[in-house]
Amino acid sequence: MNSIVLIGHGSLHSDSGASMIRLAARLRQRGVAPIAEAGFLNFSRPTIAEAIAKCVDAGATAVTVQPYFLIDGVYVQQDLPRDIAQIAAQFPDLPIHIAPCFGFHEKLAAIALDRIRAVDPEPNASNGAHDALLVMAHGTPLEHANQPVSRLTAWLQQEAPFPFAATAYLDCNTPRIADAIDDLAAHGANRVVALPYFLHRGRHLRQDLPNILAAARRRHPALTLLEAPHLDYDLRLADVITDRINESAL
């Protein structure tokens, strides 16, 4: 019997993984797999090992691990395979396969566009060429892994459309978010829609980004800085997961 385990990073804020757990239930309801659970790399419960053990107890004879990550960064490329290898040793007769991370997907991009429209329903309606889009991502030291975020920014700029758009990072890459806001202001933007390209509302969304944006507002009092909601729970994410799992089975 096939099973799916969604694997997220985890957070000290225990409620941040609630959307992923809800999506696991949706996958079961849709019949994507008869067994679908969720687990976390760090901080939160259940752990990856606990989630896989729960699948086995429910009768799973194979597990597809779906990284609940937007990009193929260090956690996906290094930490997750190491953890899965350790768990696989505990279940020598259980095939465990890792599907691709989300990467760029048009349904994922459509969710991001809806988040932008939640705070700016008609981009450029009043300010014309002075509007700008800022996609705020975490970033990874694996430079090539950031390409899906850059592709998303280009897609959003075309769809919205925004005359100015930038991708900026919280950590590991440049430009940093604060520097990107300064640059957009220097180029004449008087309104910036900032999209937090994050799945969970963990520490970064609760503390780091608000502090960065508050400091930017103090530096640029004439700049209107609108913060869009993060991705959070959306049924279209179940479609993205289904596509990635199907692709991995080919």
**Count of other CB atoms within 10 angstroms of residue 98:** 17
List the single range of 122-126, 133-137, 170-174, 233-237 with lowest mean pLDDT.
Answer: 122-126
The SS3 assignment for 63 reads strand
- Report pLDDT digits (tens) over 208-248: 999 999 999 999 999 999 999 999 999 999 999 999 999 98
- Report pLDDT digits (tens) over 132-168: 999 999 988 888 889 999 999 999 999 988 989 999 9
User: Residue 66's closest CA among 104, 23, 107?
Assistant: 23
Q: Comparing 10 with 142, which gets the higher pLDDT?
A: 142
Range 106-227: architecture per CATH: 3-Layer(aba) Sandwich (3.40)
Q: Could you tell me which residues come within 8 angstroms of residue 248 by beta carbon, excluding any fewer than 6 positions away?
A: 64, 97, 98, 99, 100
Residues with active-site annotation: 9
224 HSE (CA, 13 A, CB side): 14
| pLDDT at residue 174 is higher than 60 | yes
Average pLDDT, whole number, for the chain? Answer: 91
Q: Matching CATH topology for 2-103+233-249 and 106-227?
A: yes
Q: Taking the domain 2-103+233-249, which CATH number applies?
A: 3.40.50.1400
| pLDDT at residue 249 is higher than 80 | no
- Report pLDDT digits (tens) over 88-116: 999 999 999 999 999 999 999 999 999 99
Domain spans of the chain, in order of start: 2-103+233-249, 106-227
- Report pLDDT digits (tens) over 18-37: 888 899 999 999 999 999 99
**Is the full-model pTM beyond 0.85?**
yes
